[in-house]
Amino acid sequence: MPWPEVGGARSTMAGGVLLRRRRNKNPNICSFCGAEKPGQMRMISEKRGIYICLECAERAHQIAREGKQRHTAMATAPAPRAQEAPPAETERLPHALRRRLAENRMCLLVSLPRNDAALARAAVEAGAEGLSVHINVEQAAGGTRFGSLAEEMANLEKIVAVAGSVPVGIVPGAERMASYQDMQQLEALGIDFFDAHADHMPAWMLNMADVQLSRMVTLGARHTPDQVRNLLQGPGHCPADYIDMIQAAIVPADGYGRALTAMDLAAYGGIVELARNRPVLVPTQRRIKPAEVALLREAGVDGIVIGALVTGSNPRELGEATGRFAEAIDRLRR
């Protein structure tokens, strides 16, 4: 039964409950329900003429008790658990490496010495922000061979799965290059970008209508500044308009494994100037140390690609080396 509304009433508090009451000079009439109940009345305020019958008093106490119980229950009840979101699927955005390079100067990429998921896992867990794999490449000097896409497909699928949201790029060949159909399959697999040497990249790779992989062009030791300028700045719009990223692999073979020099930094800086805001990455042809990453950044370099020369070829060594470079880059971002 709802608390009765009394015409001409004012408010008062009884037992913590807001009641409606009216002035009443007759001590036998309840100021709340208006009923005359001789012998059943209690005085609330004689001066103000407020009286309450036993029935209304009980109702007031009952409402107060229920309100107190609700308050106590709310105060002691555990906070409602937030609904757990279902585990999100791996988000792999198109052109992920380009996005990372735009957001974070000095990104860390790891070029895997073999298409091996264990190596990929070690790199990702240690802080790699991108991976590079290979097909159609034979390195006679090092005895390394990467087979065709058909031969490497199972390994590539495992690497992409292990990488998760970390972008995976591919060197699609050298003298022997991937086909157009291979590039379509690589995109469907989840490969984010491809990296081809300027001397080996077929012209059709610059503008594949239905393959949206980011394009990285690798410059070599034989390329002169004029050639680089023509490649990146014209005249004309092709191929410059189709180049997304640049890898400056400009150290001659007889300089591999030697210490980074001042002239190396000057050469990298010159390529950065010619690149016109395209990201420039440097591979570890020199035996670059983690502490020297800061010098590369000062030269304008956007990323470093560490390979077998500094990572070794087993998961433990690769993970440790990746971790050291990741820590050095983290310090630069603080």
Does the pLDDT of residue 233 top 60, yes or no? yes
* Arithmetic mean of pLDDT over the chain: 84
- Asked if residue 176 and residue 114 are part of one domain, the reply reads yes
Q: Is residue 3 part of a domain?
A: no
Residue with tokens 């998760």: 164
Kindly report the CATH number assigned to the domain that includes residue 197. Answer: 3.20.20.70
pLDDT digits (tens, 9 = 90+) for 309-329: 999 999 999 999 999 999 999
Whether 234 contacts 211, CB under 8 Å: no
DSSP H/E element including 13: strand 10-14
Percentages (nearest 5) of helix, strand, coil residues in the chain: 40, 20, 40
pTM of the predicted structure, to 2 decimals: 0.71
| Mean pLDDT score, 188-205 | 96
Does the pLDDT of residue 18 top 60, yes or no? no
Q: Is residue 141 part of a domain?
A: yes
- Asked if residue 144 and residue 52 are part of one domain, the reply reads no
- Asked if residue 143 and residue 33 are part of one domain, the reply reads no
pLDDT digits (tens, 9 = 90+) for 51-90: 778 777 777 767 666 655 654 554 555 544 444 444 344 4
- Asked if residue 132 and residue 29 are part of one domain, the reply reads no
Residue 113: half-sphere exposure toward Cβ, Cα within 13 Å: 19
Q: Determine the pLDDT at residue 240.
A: 84
- Of 29, 54, 70, the last residue of a domain is 70
Q: Is residue 89 part of a domain?
A: no
> What residues make up the domain containing 46?
10-70
Q: Is residue 202 part of a domain?
A: yes
| Exposure string for 46-72, b = 16+ CB within 10 A, e = fewer | eeebbbbbeebbebbeebeeeeeeeee
- Asked if residue 100 and residue 28 are part of one domain, the reply reads no
Residue with tokens 């890898």: 247
Does the pLDDT of residue 255 top 80, yes or no? yes
- Asked if residue 131 and residue 25 are part of one domain, the reply reads no
Residue with tokens 């390979």: 307
- Of 34, 54, 70, the last residue of a domain is 70
- Asked if residue 120 and residue 228 are part of one domain, the reply reads yes
pLDDT digits (tens, 9 = 90+) for 295-305: 999 999 999 99
Q: Is residue 310 part of a domain?
A: yes
pLDDT digits (tens, 9 = 90+) for 139-186: 654 567 899 999 999 999 999 999 999 999 999 999 899 999 999 999
176 Cβ contact list (under 8 Å, min separation 6): 136
- Asked if residue 153 and residue 252 are part of one domain, the reply reads yes
- Asked if residue 241 and residue 102 are part of one domain, the reply reads yes
Alpha-carbon dihedral sign for residues 62, 64, 66, 69: negative
Per-residue DSSP letter, 177 = B
